[in-house]
């Protein structure tokens, strides 16, 4: 995930929602040709606010689906999954490991394991579920920041 603006909400009657091309989770990396990557939030907000009165605004966007589905193929428990998790959040990833090859991403919150929700499951149970799973392990994850916004643990900053 780039250090830039992430769309956390769209006002239903707003121009961004009406254009039909933006989704929650998308990253805005430039506005009217000006890169927002790495800029402070207040600077990004100013660029966006200043564009409100323009007839046409050109956004450069990296689409990002809020939920990512990954498949980890683990033939036996003797093979490490290759990632660490703390309170449902993927903290680190073993380069070249089973998890990395399956699409697991650092900083993502695990939402489901094998079609079983783990949103309100204690850390120990998540670890046990992962430690004992073999074969094709299906996980749904999303960026932690997006999870916090969608669950009301964090308030979006509207601009």
pTM of the model: 0.62
pLDDT classification of 1: cutoffs 50, 70, 90: low
Q: What is the pLDDT of residue 20?
A: 83
List the one residue out of 139, 136, 140, 138 whose CA is nearest residue 76: 136
pLDDT at 156 over 70: no
Q: What is the pLDDT of residue 21?
A: 87
* Each residue's pLDDT tens digit, 3-42: 888 887 777 788 888 888 887 778 899 999 999 999 998 9
| DSSP codes joined into one string, 17-49 | HHHS---TT-EEEEETTEE-TT--HHHHHHHHH
The pairs formed by 8-17 with CB atoms below 8 angstroms and a separation of 24 or more are 8/146, 8/149, 8/156, 9/149, 9/156, 9/158, 15/57
* Each residue's pLDDT tens digit, 101-145: 999 999 999 999 998 889 889 999 999 999 999 999 999 998 887
Q: Which domains does the chain have, with CATH numbers?
A: 5-62 (2.30.42.10), 68-148 (2.30.42.10)
């Amino acid at each position: 995930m780039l250090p830039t603006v992430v769309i956390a909400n769209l006002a239903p009657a707003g121009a961004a929602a009406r254009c039909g091309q933006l989704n929650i989770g998308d990253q805005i990396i430039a506005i009217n040709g000006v890169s927002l990557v790495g800029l402070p939030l207040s600077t990004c907000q100013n660029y966006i606010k200043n564009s409100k009165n323009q007839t046409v605004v050109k956004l450069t966007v990296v689409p990002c689906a809020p939920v990512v589905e990954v498949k980890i193929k683990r033939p036996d428990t003797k093979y490490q999954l290759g990632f660490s998790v703390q309170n449902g959040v993927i903290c680190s990833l073993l380069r070249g490991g089973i998890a990395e090859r399956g699409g697991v991403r650092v900083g993502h919150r695990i939402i489901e394991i094998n079609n079983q929700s783990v949103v309100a499951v204690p850390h120990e149970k998540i670890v046990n579920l992962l430690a004992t799973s073999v074969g094709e392990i299906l996980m749904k994850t999303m960026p932690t920041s997006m999870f916090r916004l969608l669950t009301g643990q964090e308030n979006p900053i509207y601009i």
